[in-house]
Amino acid sequence: MRPLSDTHLIEVYHEARAMRLSEEFIALIEHAIEQRGLSTDDRKSLA
């Protein structure tokens, strides 16, 4: 599987929150975001 770009990862995070997916799944996404040194607000600056 090909890794997600930073932009796509942030988009997936926001979509998962909007869809109210499981907190465990969201936590995995948040961990990946933290590992990359990103913020959940980065989608504006990455576009």
Q: Please check whether residue 31 lies inside any domain of the structure.
A: yes
35 within domain boundaries = yes
Residue numbers of the domain that contains 32: 6-46
Residue 29 in any domain: the answer is yes
For residue 41, tell me if it sits in a domain: yes
What's the pLDDT tens digit per position in 1-43?
688 999 999 999 999 999 999 999 999 999 999 999 999 886 5
For residue 1, tell me if it sits in a domain: no
Q: Is residue 39 part of a domain?
A: yes
Alpha carbons 40 and 30: distance in angstroms, whole number: 8
Q: For residue 41, how far is the Cα from the chain centroid?
A: 10
Confidence class for position 46, pLDDT limits 50, 70, 90: low
- Full-model pTM: 0.82
17 in a domain, yes or no? yes
In the chain, the number of structural domains is: 1
Q: What is the pLDDT of residue 41?
A: 84
